[in-house]
Amino acid sequence: MGKEFEMRLDGEAPATPRQVWEAIATGPGMSSWFVGRTEIDGDTVRTAFGDDWIAAGQVTARDEPHRFAYRSDTGTDGRFIAYEYLIEGRDGAATVLRSVTSGFLPGDDWSAEYEAMQYGTALFFATLLQCLRHFPGRTATPVTAFGPPVTDWDAQWRRLHAALGLSDPRPGDPVRAELGGLGAVVGEVYFTNPHTLAIRTPDALYRFIRGLHGAMVAGHELFSPVPDAAGAWTAFLHR
């Protein structure tokens, strides 16, 4: 039967329309808040997630700096996902950004994927706003790491929260944790939902995600690159 979906999100940032455009319509900009590493070559949008490439998308609208959209069709079964971003400048050097994520998931077993997509989309949009509000004009190095398969997610989240000095995390909660070889993480929670936890520090956005295929994923954005960060975070998740 399949599932058609549409998710709408909006937010305001103390940024110019040009700064927002750079964040949503360039490879380095998207790589600083989306999943994995994104490259935009002409009208082709490609995103690497770990060692794999997500199906390439084709730009369907480019009206700089007001509207950017692209769509990825991933097979003969009608599956697709489309992204649209609308930018509206406001007085006082503020900009309103609206996003629409839509698509179609084929088959009868779409519910888990749709749930993960809802939670993930909300996380990525919140991260985009964090970039615009706290790291204007800067780009990050994306770091993706995967943990082992998880059988008890409640217990897994409790272990992660304990490692970070948290109990029932909510936006604004302070984080102060010493993670061994990874050093200290000092910042605050900026977003959480049943599948994600995100923390902002002065030089990074740390994101922990319940992966669709059963593993905890670290999808971090480092504004001060760290050597072999992916290996270090992989080791952390396996602990």
Shared domain for 181 and 127, answered yes or no, is: no
> According to the model, what pLDDT value does residue 216 have?
97
* Same domain, residue pair 146 and 66: no
Among residues 134, 164, 184, the one where a domain terminates is: 134
d(Cα 225, Cα 231) in Å, to the nearest integer? 13
What residue numbers bound the domain in which 201 lies? 141-238
For residue range 118-152, what is the model confidence (pLDDT) as tens digits? 999 999 999 999 999 999 999 999 999 999 999 99
Task: Give the domain-ending residue among 114, 134, 154.
Answer: 134
- Are the beta carbons of 20 and 65 closer than 8 angstroms? yes
Residue 1 to residue 63: CA distance in whole angstroms: 35
Choose one of 103, 134, 165: the last residue of a domain. Answer: 134
Residues 69 and 119 in one domain: yes
128 and 96 in a common domain = yes
Let me know: does 194 contact 119? Beta carbons within 8 Å: yes
Q: Indicate if 127 and 145 belong to the same structural domain.
A: no
Domain identity same for 47 and 94: yes
CATH code assigned at 233: 3.30.530.20
User: What ranges make up the beta strands (E) of the chain?
Assistant: 3-13, 37-41, 44-49, 52-63, 67-73, 80-90, 94-105, 141-149, 174-178, 184-193, 196-201, 204-210, 215-222
Same-domain pairing of 17 and 93: yes
Q: Give tens-digit pLDDT for 78-123.
A: 999 999 999 999 877 799 999 999 999 999 999 999 999 999 999 9
Same domain, 72 and 106: yes
Please give the average per-residue pLDDT across 176-191, as a whole number.
93
Does 153 lie in the same domain as 130? Answer: no
Q: Within its chain, how far is the Cα of 84 from the centroid?
A: 16
Structure token digits, residue 91? 């007085």
Domain identity same for 130 and 17: yes
The number of domains in the chain is: 2
Residues 52 and 150 occupy one common structural domain: no
Q: How does pLDDT run across 190-235, given as a tens digit for each residue? A: 999 999 999 999 999 999 999 998 999 999 999 998 889 999 999 9
* pLDDT single digits (tens) 21-73: 999 999 999 999 999 999 999 999 999 998 788 889 999 999 999 999 999 99
pLDDT for 76 equals: 78
Q: Which residues of 120-141 are buried (b: 16+ CB within 10 A; e: fewer)?
A: bbbbbbbbbbbbbebbeeebbb
**Same domain? 173 vs 215:** yes
